[in-house]
Amino acid sequence: MLFCEIHPICYEISLKKEICKRHIKDLLSDEKFAREKSGRLLPNVVAGYSCNLIKRGKGVDLRLQENKAVNIRLACDRIDGLVIYPSEVFSFWHMVGKTTKEKGYKDGRVIIHNKLIPGLGGGLCNLGNTIHYMVLHSPLKVTEFHHHSDALAPEEGKRVPFSTGTSISYNYIDYRFKNDTDQKIQLHVWCDAEKLYGELRSETEFPWRYSLVEEDHHFQKEGDRYFRVSKIFREIIERSTGNVINKELILDNHSEVMYDYDLIPKDMISD
């Protein structure tokens, strides 16, 4: 058993230790973190994404979903309009900061020891995933990414790879990317009553476009548990010719299902 699993107090001690270590590491780092925000949007949309703020269905706690929407709106206000200059790094937690009750954050869903429980500021992984999805459709370089279960709950409509796969926890489990291009990049994230929207913007259009391809998507039973399994590739496509110039595996997905097993499509289960 790990020290952090002995008792909740041990978990809090371990958490504070990791937060302190990350603060020291960033203080000593040569990385330049993006800080400047602008209300004037860059002209070119590199990628866009939207998803539901609130999930409804069997086994879903609507109160935690509504709280998640509050948390995401607060975090969007901290990030929206951020300009990332060439060689700068985007850090989710450098922009959002610590989630506290004083700032208006509420209990949403968090994953601790592979279990879904209420936690202050929970649900921000949805915003992290939105940003990650857009970055994967750009030439930007992901420098820190932590994957958690991609099977928290079924989504309405067509399945989108990485729908819930980006894990973040203040501040030592971060999501970061670096602008290795020769032009400014901007994040535009906002919400309406029911949806989260995101746009990744640039000064001019890049000569490539990007596509995520999921292959061999299925569920498999392992003992008493079920897992979502798939391989997710990113294709880089030359705009001028439409030719795929590179196809890379970005995730060999093996995610434990964390919702009612009765909702798993029976025709997608393999032994």
Question: pLDDT digits over 100-113, tens only?
Answer: 999 999 998 876 66
> Taking residues 199-220, what's their average pLDDT?
94
Question: pLDDT digits over 135-146, tens only?
Answer: 999 999 999 998
- How sure is the predictor about 62, in pLDDT bands with cuts at 50, 70 and 90? confident
pLDDT value of position 159: 63
- In single-letter form, the type of residue at position 43 comes to P
Do the Cβ atoms of 175 and 145 come closer than 8 Å? Answer: yes
pLDDT value of position 55: 80
Q: Is the pLDDT at 7 greater than 90, yes or no?
A: no
129 & 60 share domain: yes
pLDDT value of position 142: 95
> Taking residues 136-164, what's their average pLDDT?
74
18 & 152 share domain: no
36 & 165 share domain: yes
Residue bearing the bigger pLDDT, 21 or 158: 21
23 & 138 share domain: no
Strand partners for 213: 233
98 & 137 share domain: yes
60 & 191 share domain: yes
Would you call 63 exposed, middle or buried from its count of C-beta atoms within 10 A (0-12, 13-18, 19+)?
A: exposed
Domain total of the chain:
2
- How sure is the predictor about 152, in pLDDT bands with cuts at 50, 70 and 90? low
> Taking residues 89-93, what's their average pLDDT?
97
Domain that residue 25 falls in: 1-30
Considering 206, 227, 258, which residue would you say is the last residue of a domain?
A: 206
User: CB-based contacts of 208: which residues, under 8 Å, 6+ apart?
Assistant: 139, 236, 237, 238, 239, 245
Asked if the structure places residue 197 within a domain, the reply is yes
